[in-house]
Structure 1
């Protein structure tokens, strides 16, 4: 199963990532890879 993700730069540095199809699915990392 594949899901679309939203990868956005964070104001504090790093990135915020969410999966719109999965309510509450959110994470963050220092780089796009992490």
Structure 2
């Protein structure tokens, strides 16, 4: 289930990349990884 939700969040992250800096995206991804663990 966590993998499925991560895939959904990834599509949101890709859409957000246009409006956020790379560092913000990386922070968001690291936060998702922390949630998955």
Normalised to the residue count of structure 1, the TM-score between the two structures is 0.21
Q: Which has the higher strand share?
A: 1
Q: Which has the higher contact order (CA 8 A, sep 6+)?
A: 2
Q: More helix per residue: 1 or 2?
A: 2
Query: TM-score, structure 2 length as denominator?
Result: 0.21
